[in-house]
Structure 1
């Protein structure tokens, strides 16, 4: 079970190794997802399509209490490849995405294609990390850009690409539920590795997709790769293309992912680009999240990036290093400033709220509601701030001003050297677990 970040719906996905009799019911787009509201118990919700967020496009909906847990007669038939010979139906084209009409249904399969700079950037990063094979998960233009340079396989929900590519490099696929519509044997053969192979997954999902679903799919592909190659639980390199404002959602599902400062532009999106009257004042908000060490990625200086020696990585030129935070903090291209009161770098237009002990977007906000969305700097749990932390209040050691642990005013609880007296913290793959002593 995974909670919706908006707090209204929850969802549950089937496990990769679940018994076939326990699988979720299926619609025309593969296994469905169980949705239910916070007020409902698991099993009281409904199953709905994983790919289509508009019931007009896929109206499958089954109350959970009507599902008997048997997939017999409910499976999606495997489709034949459009060409019986398994060969492309049309002559090979340099890149059919340059001539095909982009799909435009934002609630399922809207297509936005990388511009030339983004393609070159991604190709260069493949070279920098030594990738020899790439899975393009919903990134067709990148596949056509890479296929002459290294081995690439395209998994996409647009069946038109089967006319240009054979089954050895394309499969019709739903990334929201890891469902293969064609025989997946050619893809499994692609995953077979030699000792010199290094596999990279590049995914560019629709920005309305649930990050829980995409993360689940990425884990499923990793398990499949490890199983085929008889490997232990071995991670795969991932480039996850998504807007920077979804960083917390991605980190919650995949804490090992870090954001690269490179701004991804698209040729056919008015807002996600750095050209045109409707472009954002700070450029495209789209970034690349990755589990590859950021120091291995080289951002082009000619496009407005620099190397920060203190961080040992490339960042945007306007991103100023904060010695207090120890990072180049800006996420969106604005010049962030360090707030002494909450001891963190914030956007330049943020204002500090003494009641919330945080900088917020605006004054006059609903403090009670805002605080339910915050993570406590003491125990790390979401839903309250430090002054309301029941786990720590029992110790009756709270100071009224400054740091609640030591009383000093030049820092907050996250940086206090006294933390080890009250908490035991475990760090693994950028995820921190806090245990109160």
Structure 2
């Protein structure tokens, strides 16, 4: 969960389970994660807690060169994990999230609970896709909302829920390393006899959590489900709740996920809601990322959503379809505008910079620095724009205006018919790779 920009994360956990002790040392929160700074080689990194970003909460720190593949740190046998008193919960058990004090440590397990509209929306989508079982990973209020409608199992790091739920529907769990702190057998029994189209995973991880860790856990749960039910490598339906500005991080790890326009609101967060003086002017930035086809999701018209027949899916009413881009382009709740020079839709407050060949947030910016953050529309690499692309510098036409490949001014290189002369492009699960010919 470390989000320090100077750190780069290495994940070496085995697919399908938490890292075995001969690969990673353990702290009291399960297998640790190997980090190293960008200026270091992997062998010079360090192991730290996967769940806590604050060393005051978990101060485990072990230099990688000191790890000898032997157990170190705290590892409790399964039967020795501290268990609070467990009750056999009845479906009519009151929702404890309405009375419990929400955990508020943003660096580990701050709890923000869905509002009633979000609960109803998520429940409706589970039913729409035909799910009969739901894994609520870090979504306790949704679990209590669903348990009288569908079969639901809660995986959460807050052991207070063990006082309200029996082992047949709750396990103390660290989603950052797929660590089950109680007996995993009841969860495995929950998965038994369930086909892939009957099960959906809904996860609402802390927004500071590394997407590498969550995606690894989701793949691990999928593999466990397939093993238990003796299925081939079959995907499971996923609803991942996360801010829209983390979309690139999610797609990098799980390119099969697409973003739904529905805005998730929380009852106890001042900014991630559409009510209150401190709410964002364009609503909550929290969205639903899913591998379920967006056309199957029914966004409520009464909450300001509409159906776009050209996209064949529901979208926000502010998200106007662009015939040039052939999509509803907005991601942040604003109405985007189409820039003819960029040949793309951009945020309404953006201005076009002829030097950068891009629309930017403001005029008078540092062009050199800005261009180092851009992806070249020619080779697809980050760090330069098209006019400085060395890969095709000798082969492209020398046009100073318009498309650099053909010279026409009614489009940019991204959609030029001449691309096939220079590139071989392969698209798989929303991710495009470019090979220069």
TM-score for the superposition, normalised by structure 2: 0.94
Aligned to 1:148: 148
Aligned to 2:329: 329
Kindly state the Cα deviation for residue 92 of structure 1 after the two structures are TM-superposed.
Answer: 6.0
Alpha-carbon distance in 1 for matches of 2:142, 2:66 = 43
Contact 2:337 2:345 (8 Å CA) reproduced: yes
Contact 1:132 1:198 (8 Å CA) reproduced: yes
- Residue 222 of structure 1 aligns to a residue whose secondary structure is helix
Unaligned runs of 5+ in 2: none
Contact 2:196 2:236 (8 Å CA) reproduced: no
Alpha-carbon distance in 2 for matches of 1:252, 1:166 = 37
The residue correspondences of 1:29-428 to structure 2 (distance < 5 A) are 29-71=29-71, 75-78=75-78, 79-80=80-81, 82=83, 87-88=87-88, 93-195=93-195, 198-428=198-428
1:80/1:396 Cα in 2 relative to 1: closer, same or farther (>3 Å)?
A: closer
Kindly state the Cα deviation for residue 77 of structure 1 after the two structures are TM-superposed.
Answer: 3.2
Q: CA offsets per residue over residues 234-282 of structure 1, 9 Å max, x none? A: 1111001011111111111111111111111111111111111111111
Alpha-carbon distance in 1 for matches of 2:4, 2:376 = 19
Alpha-carbon distance in 1 for matches of 2:27, 2:177 = 11
Kindly state the Cα deviation for residue 101 of structure 1 after the two structures are TM-superposed.
Answer: 0.7
Kindly state the Cα deviation for residue 212 of structure 1 after the two structures are TM-superposed.
Answer: 1.4
Q: Among 13, 16, 30, which residue is 1:15 paired with?
A: 13
Contact 1:52 1:58 (8 Å CA) reproduced: yes
- Residue 248 of structure 1 aligns to a residue whose secondary structure is helix
Q: CA offsets per residue over residues 26-81 of structure 1, 9 Å max, x none? A: 11111111111111101101111111111111111111111112236753432557
1:216/1:51 Cα in 2 relative to 1: closer, same or farther (>3 Å)?
A: same
- Residue 414 of structure 2 aligns to a residue whose secondary structure is helix
1:266/1:5 Cα in 2 relative to 1: closer, same or farther (>3 Å)?
A: closer
Alpha-carbon distance in 2 for matches of 1:90, 1:224 = 28
Contact 2:196 2:234 (8 Å CA) reproduced: no
- Residue 321 of structure 1 aligns to a residue whose secondary structure is coil
Contact 1:30 1:76 (8 Å CA) reproduced: no
1:95/1:117 Cα in 2 relative to 1: closer, same or farther (>3 Å)?
A: same
Alpha-carbon distance in 1 for matches of 2:380, 2:112 = 37
Alpha-carbon distance in 2 for matches of 1:200, 1:377 = 37
The residue correspondences of 1:1-12 to structure 2 (distance < 5 A) are 8-12=6-10
Alpha-carbon distance in 2 for matches of 1:143, 1:336 = 36
Contact 1:311 1:327 (8 Å CA) reproduced: yes
Alpha-carbon distance in 2 for matches of 1:380, 1:75 = 45
Alpha-carbon distance in 2 for matches of 1:256, 1:81 = 38
1:11/1:262 Cα in 2 relative to 1: closer, same or farther (>3 Å)?
A: same
Kindly state the Cα deviation for residue 361 of structure 1 after the two structures are TM-superposed.
Answer: 1.0
Contact 2:136 2:202 (8 Å CA) reproduced: yes
- Residue 103 of structure 2 aligns to a residue whose secondary structure is coil
1:223/1:413 Cα in 2 relative to 1: closer, same or farther (>3 Å)?
A: same
Contact 1:91 1:164 (8 Å CA) reproduced: no
Contact 1:27 1:76 (8 Å CA) reproduced: no
Contact 1:83 1:89 (8 Å CA) reproduced: no
Contact 1:90 1:164 (8 Å CA) reproduced: no
Alpha-carbon distance in 1 for matches of 2:193, 2:90 = 30
Greater relative contact order (Cα < 8 A, sep 6+): 2
Alpha-carbon distance in 2 for matches of 1:23, 1:76 = 17
TM-score for the superposition, normalised by structure 1: 0.94
1:119/1:398 Cα in 2 relative to 1: closer, same or farther (>3 Å)?
A: same
- Residue 393 of structure 1 aligns to a residue whose secondary structure is coil
Q: CA offsets per residue over residues 119-173 of structure 1, 9 Å max, x none? A: 0000000011111111000000000000111111100000000001011110101
1:105/1:271 Cα in 2 relative to 1: closer, same or farther (>3 Å)?
A: same
Q: CA offsets per residue over residues 200-222 of structure 1, 9 Å max, x none? A: 00000111111111111111111
- Residue 136 of structure 1 aligns to a residue whose secondary structure is strand
Count of aligned pairs: 434
Contact 1:81 1:162 (8 Å CA) reproduced: no
Alpha-carbon distance in 2 for matches of 1:298, 1:218 = 24
Kindly state the Cα deviation for residue 411 of structure 1 after the two structures are TM-superposed.
Answer: 0.7
Unaligned runs of 5+ in 1: none
| RMSD across aligned positions (CA) | 2.1
Kindly state the Cα deviation for residue 182 of structure 1 after the two structures are TM-superposed.
Answer: 0.8
